Amino acid sequence: MNIVFYGGGNIAQAVAKGFMLSTLETDNIFYIDRNKKNQDKLKKLQIKNFKNESTVHVDIFILAVKPKDAINAYKDILDNYKNPKIISFVAGIKTKRYLKINKNIELLRAMPNTSSEFGLGITGIYNATFKKNNYLEIIDLFERIGEVVELKKESHMDTFTGMIGSGPAYFFYLLKTYEKKLMVICDQDQKKVNSIILNLMWGVGLSISKDDNLNDLIASVASKKGTTEAGLKSFKSGNLNKVFEKGLSAAIKRSKEISNEF
Ligand SMILES: NC(=O)c1ccc[n+]([C@@H]2O[C@H](COP(=O)([O-])OP(=O)(O)OC[C@H]3O[C@@H](n4cnc5c(N)ncnc54)[C@H](OP(=O)(O)O)[C@@H]3O)[C@@H](O)[C@H]2O)c1
């Protein structure tokens, strides 16, 4: 399967790396991108510039530009390639906006996250007009780089975008508090601090895979009148859950707003 990323920035690079970790060869992955920095990064990954490979048969275009650039990029694909199959990674913009321009193409939306790079992605997929067999091939493709969630309603894409597409950044943000305190006790040794944080997060992930009940997992760490209990009590009294939920809702709301902006 030959895949062209139209837009070769953060998410395209993460997903391309994930594909390469799985069974897809670099020979089958191409990019179109105007940004010199991203071009250099893609070149290092041995991904080829599609502008130099125009005779290649394209199976799938992946639209991975910012929302403001999406419609132009989409039109460019339609102007230059016959009957393209297009996957849009673009946040917010609904399929009806694209299909208004041309309703005879196969189009679906996929919302991956950057952990796809390690084969640990989570991709929400909403099918608009892909034929069944082609759709199943796409599901199979994204299952190679992690978990796939098939979304039955396009409105669920906003929830998914705000929670999962943006998800890694929330954890990086929370971990900044850990980093600040750990830097002090580790003599400003950033590498050491990074490996501590890595083990913490990895251990948390592996624990969840062993036991799916989060309350039991909390109880396995907290003991009566202990440090964890004190920490958790303080989080509760500061309404951390509510604050976090509010943040997620703001991201979901923003995804909906973007759909109305374009
Ligand atoms: N980042 C994530 O974690 C993530 C996760 C899921 C979905 N998404 C979605 O994926 C899309 C891309 O996000 P991103 O973070 O990867 O953006 P990004 O890093 O800015 O990458 C987009 C790339 O596309 C290039 N580009 C835009 N229009 C172009 C055109 N007409 N011709 C050639 N190149 C063009 C940009 O060049 P310039 O820099 O010159 O504009 C840039 O290099 C967004 O719509 C976002 O909502 C992102």
Residue 178: give its domain's CATH number: 1.10.3730.10
Q: What per-residue confidence (pLDDT) applies to 26? A: 81
Domain-terminating residue out of 117, 132, 165: 165
Judged by DSSP in three states, 125 sits in strand
Q: Is the pLDDT of residue 45 over 80?
A: yes
Q: Tell me if 93 sits within 8 A of 67, measured CB to CB.
A: yes
Are 130 and 238 found together in one domain? Answer: no
Are 140 and 177 found together in one domain? Answer: no
Are 20 and 126 found together in one domain? Answer: yes
Q: Is the pLDDT of residue 54 over 80?
A: no
Are 140 and 191 found together in one domain? Answer: no
CA-113 nearest atom, ligand 1: 5
Helix (H) or strand (E) holding 3: strand 3-6
CA-90 nearest atom, ligand 1: 45
Are 18 and 108 found together in one domain? Answer: yes
Considering the entire predicted model, what is its pTM?
0.88
Phi, psi of 82 (to 5 degrees): -80, 135
CA-33 nearest atom, ligand 1: 34
Ligand 1 geometric centre to CA of 171 (Å):
22
The runs of H, that is alpha helices, within the chain are 10-21, 36-44, 67-80, 95-99, 132-143, 156-160, 167-185, 190-210, 214-221, 227-237, 240-261
Are 58 and 118 found together in one domain? Answer: yes
Q: What per-residue confidence (pLDDT) applies to 25? A: 80
Are 216 and 99 found together in one domain? Answer: no
Across the range 89-96, mean pLDDT stands at 93
CATH, residue 17: 3.40.50.720
- For ligand 1, say whether the CB of 7 is within 6 Å of any of its atoms: yes
Are 30 and 152 found together in one domain? Answer: yes
For residue 23, the enclosing domain spans: 3-165
Are 172 and 218 found together in one domain? Answer: yes
Are 115 and 234 found together in one domain? Answer: no
- For ligand 1, say whether the CB of 67 is within 6 Å of any of its atoms: yes
Across the range 54-77, mean pLDDT stands at 95
Are 136 and 246 found together in one domain? Answer: no
Count up the domains in the chain and report the number.
Answer: 2
Are 156 and 29 found together in one domain? Answer: yes
Q: Is the pLDDT of residue 141 over 80?
A: yes
Q: Tell me if 259 sits within 8 A of 109, measured CB to CB.
A: no
